[in-house]
Structure 1
Amino acid sequence: MKKAWILLVIGLAAWILVNNPIVNKYVASIKQSEVPTIKQSDSLYQSIVKHASTYEIPPSDAKIDRVWKAIPGYNGLKVDLTASYKNMKSKGIFDEKKLVFTQTKPQVHLQDLPPSPIYKGHPEKPMVSFIINVAWGNEYLSEMLATLKRHHVSASFFLEGNWVKQNPELAKMIVSAGHEVGNHSYSHPDMKRLTAPLAREQITKTNEIIEAATGVKCVWFAPPSGSYRDETIKVADELNMLTVMWTVDTVDWKKPSPEVLINRVMSKIDNGSMVLMHPTESTANSLDKLITLIEQRNLKIGTVSELMNEERIQK
């Protein structure tokens, strides 16, 4: 009987040790501290350490640019010494193609900046976004959505509140297709001329309508015609929203031919560009070729949220 109790106590103590997070953390730290010791005299490991700084890229902080206003941060790269060593160990020779990297975060993020409009993403990020403002043009939406789906491209649709109120099913269709939706005011006013209370009403009312129709809570605001004043940006910021403008304008409302529209965009597009468009015949007829040409330049196409996040795209 006494022996059984002793075994029970030993078993209980062992269970406590195995499941104790403090003990587990201590054991893990010991194992981790052993790694460099084991590799200290390993020539391959030392070679990786020696070359690591050559391949590392420091992160880039978010900042306010004199021309482009708010610019998001961008992750840096750091060599994972242990993972790289394991990758090369079988052959025992240094191979830069087998280096493993981890991303390092900047110290200043977009949300740390004072309220400011955003005209583009980080200039080193090989990605662009389509900003599609919707207040009319229902007849071209289906074709544009079909083209985007065919190319596996997600865009950011900025919806007017009054339009969503009248077309809730179309708003749902945009979200169901995997696209991002943002706020484009309620009645398309000149936001620059509105007082703060009226600006807040336009944005808040639209947020409520979009959320009721689609279940999506908007985080981006695009002022109609790009018209705003500092107070407009502050009102959006108080509502936990960032204000988005554009880098490249298709001017599709002037009904340009597909050739003119495509040349206009491709002559200006670059890392971080945000391309403004609407559901128009010109854009619907240009979208397929435009996507192909952009991707041929090794630029990814993503939503505004994807463009603004700090995740580094590995080439």
Structure 2
Amino acid sequence: MTVDRRSVLRSASRLAALSAAGGLVAACGGPSDVHGPDGPSVAARPQPAHLTESPAAGPSGSPSPSPSPSPSATPFALPPLAADTPQEVVTGPRTRPQLALTFHGQGDPAIATALLTAAEQHGARLTVLAVGSWLDEQPQIAERILSGGHELGNHTQNHLDICALSAEQAHEEIAQCAQRLERLTGSIGRWFRPSAAQYANAMVKEQAQRVGYPHVLSFDVDPRDYADPGAETVTRRVLRAAAAGSVVALHMDHPGTVTALPAILDGLAGQGLHAVTASELCA
């Protein structure tokens, strides 16, 4: 199915009138993404050693280069995680009819708002891992995400290949985004996802813990929507690979993903699955 970007953007703009919005476009996805020839493959990676939840430490790093609004968003009340939640979450429990749709947070806020609205109309809650530079450009989007009952987390400040950085550079990338989240919402969020990588290496996990993230959020389903294969293809790839406990990696800044989301949610419902936040999945 061919996606008419102008039509989607016009629709997104109408939906965006319900909420505040503004724009920045960028793509996400990296060489470590795992997929098959016509769809995502489920990661067959052993889980790391378990780590129980601990209080989040305050982030450190360089001061913000620009002022931002005072905290006005109320963070979604996070359920406590299960005591055996691993340090790097790839999937949740396979025993409940739930999965998590996680979105790399960047791009045109009108598209992002359209996507959030579509999820809310289907009773779904999403997890958005925001890039800090996006929050600098569009600080109001943090409140829009949380006010819809969704979850907000950290996807680094500038979306660099974090596993290729030095330890201090990686720390700064994580800490600077955490500062934006804390200033805008009063919390650094529970989850950190590495940029340009599916999995965090040992150095990145260590730096995430230094900032206050005991858990890294990976994923097991990658429909490669960042390549713009079309809404029908994105839908088919998600529905073929997703199962109870899956963590699906998607992107907010692609109109085809907005178009695909209602069909994805309808298809998941037909399979008896419901989209919840990553924290709900791992509770």
Do both proteins adopt the same fold according to a TM-score greater than 0.5, normalized to the shorter chain? yes
Gaps of 5+ in 2: 1-42, 52-81
Report whether the alignment pairs 1:185 with 2:159: no
Cα gap change, 1:152/1:71 in structure 2, threshold over 3 Å: closer, same or farther?
farther
2 CA distance for matches of 1:158 and 1:187?
A: 13
1 CA distance for matches of 2:50 and 2:146?
A: 25
Q: For each residue in 1:228-262, what CA deviation from the matched residue of structure 2 results, as whole angstroms up to 9, or x when unmatched?
A: 32110122123331111111112111112222111
Gaps of 5+ in 1: 1-64, 74-106, 310-315
Report whether the alignment pairs 1:127 with 2:98: yes
Correspondence for 1:245: 218
Alignment of 1:10-159 (within 5 A): 67-70=45-48, 109-110=84-85, 116-159=87-130
Asked if the contact 1:250–1:276 (Cα under 8 Å) also holds between the matched residues in 2, the reply is: yes
User: Structure 1 stretches (4+) deviating beyond 4 angstroms?
Assistant: 70-73
Cα deviation, residue 70, structure 1: 4.4
* SS class of match (2:174): helix
Instruction: Look at both structures and tell me which one has the larger radius of gyration over its CA atoms.
Output: 1
Cα gap change, 1:108/1:163 in structure 2, threshold over 3 Å: closer, same or farther?
closer
User: Aligned residues: percent identity?
Assistant: 23
* SS class of match (1:220): coil
* SS class of match (2:104): strand
- One-letter code aligned to 1:67: R
Per the normalisation by structure 2, the TM-score is: 0.69
Correspondence for 2:248: 275
* SS class of match (1:265): helix
- One-letter code aligned to 1:261: V
Asked if the contact 2:163–2:197 (Cα under 8 Å) also holds between the matched residues in 1, the reply is: no
2 CA distance for matches of 1:159 and 1:244?
A: 13
1 CA distance for matches of 2:84 and 2:191?
A: 16
Correspondence for 1:297: 271
- One-letter code aligned to 2:159: H
- One-letter code aligned to 2:195: P
- How many pairs are equivalent? 209
- RMSD over aligned CA atoms reads 2.3
Report whether the alignment pairs 1:229 with 2:175: no
Cα deviation, residue 68, structure 1: 4.3
2 CA distance for matches of 1:264 and 1:72?
A: 30
2 CA distance for matches of 1:302 and 1:217?
A: 20
Q: Which has the higher helix share?
A: 1
- One-letter code aligned to 2:243: D
1 CA distance for matches of 2:123 and 2:244?
A: 20
Name which structure has the greater RCO, CA cutoff 8 Å, separation 6+.
Answer: 2
Report whether the alignment pairs 1:308 with 2:279: no
Cα gap change, 1:259/1:66 in structure 2, threshold over 3 Å: closer, same or farther?
closer
